[in-house]
Amino acid sequence: MLQLNITRINPNVTARLAFEADESHICELMLSVASWLRSKGSGQWGKLLDGHDDHDLNGAIKRGEVVLFIADDVQDLAGAIILQQQPSEWDRRLWGMELKDTAVYLHRLTVNRRYAGQGLGKDIMDWVESGMGYANKDRIRLDCFASSDKLNAFYTECGYAYRGETNGYSLYEKMLTSRSE
């Protein structure tokens, strides 16, 4: 289970672990973003619209690996993220021999479209490094569509190192700085 060290990610948004009761709201948010992506011509998250979840949202919630970002003023779900402590089958297919037990696997960074363009995605990515406690983890790994110039640029701007491409997905990794507890 994740340990939240800092719960506020910016002056208006607070982070908290998701509960099983939150699952329908998270699914609704992710499906909404997947629909928006499809309307823009992207196939990203298209499997979600077909009812297939490669990242086992329900299991991740039960393991305490899903974080919600709540807009304080209206208690609105502004975003969500999955921070898996063990690699999924998806991660195994993409990372292959580069699989690390010391990695956190970041999936489904989701920003509610009502909060798009306000820097929330960057705030979440900054918070992932400083606002969480990861026992025995030294890096964060993620993947995104290789064809998405915008996402690839975003992760590079967030300080993630490009580690290559597998099956049409760019792989990124960032070492965590150790800090005293």
- Whether residue 157 lies inside any domain: the answer is no
Structural domain boundaries enclosing 85: 3-142
- Whether residue 159 lies inside any domain: the answer is no
From 181, 64, 69, 61, select the one nearest 126 (Cα to Cα): 69
- Whether residue 88 lies inside any domain: the answer is yes
Tens of pLDDT along the chain (181 residues)?
666 666 889 999 999 999 999 999 999 999 999 999 889 888 888 888 888 887 889 999 999 999 999 998 778 999 999 999 999 889 999 998 767 689 999 999 999 999 999 999 999 999 998 877 788 899 999 999 999 999 999 999 999 999 999 999 999 999 988 644 4
**So what's the pLDDT on residue 14?**
94
- Whether residue 158 lies inside any domain: the answer is no
Chain centroid to Cα 157, Å, comes to: 16
3-state secondary structure string across the chain: CCEECCCEEECCEEEEECCHHHHHHHHHHHHHHHHHHHHCCCCCCHHHHCCCCCCCHHHHHHCCCEEEEEECCCCEEEEEEEEECCCCHHHHHHHHHHCCCCEEEEEEEEECHHHCCCCHHHHHHHHHHHCEECCCCCEEEEEEECCCHHHHHHHHHCCCEEEEEECCEEEEEEECCCCCC
- Whether residue 171 lies inside any domain: the answer is no
d(CA 168, CA 38): 17
Question: The domain that contains 123 carries what CATH number?
Answer: 3.40.630.30
Identify any residues that bridge with 8 across adjacent strands, giving them in sequence order: 14
**So what's the pLDDT on residue 179?**
47
Domain count, the chain: 1
d(CA 144, CA 165): 10
**So what's the pLDDT on residue 49?**
84
**So what's the pLDDT on residue 95?**
92
- Whether residue 116 lies inside any domain: the answer is yes
- Whether residue 42 lies inside any domain: the answer is yes
- Whether residue 124 lies inside any domain: the answer is yes
Q: Which amino acid is at 14?
A: T
* pTM score, whole prediction: 0.91
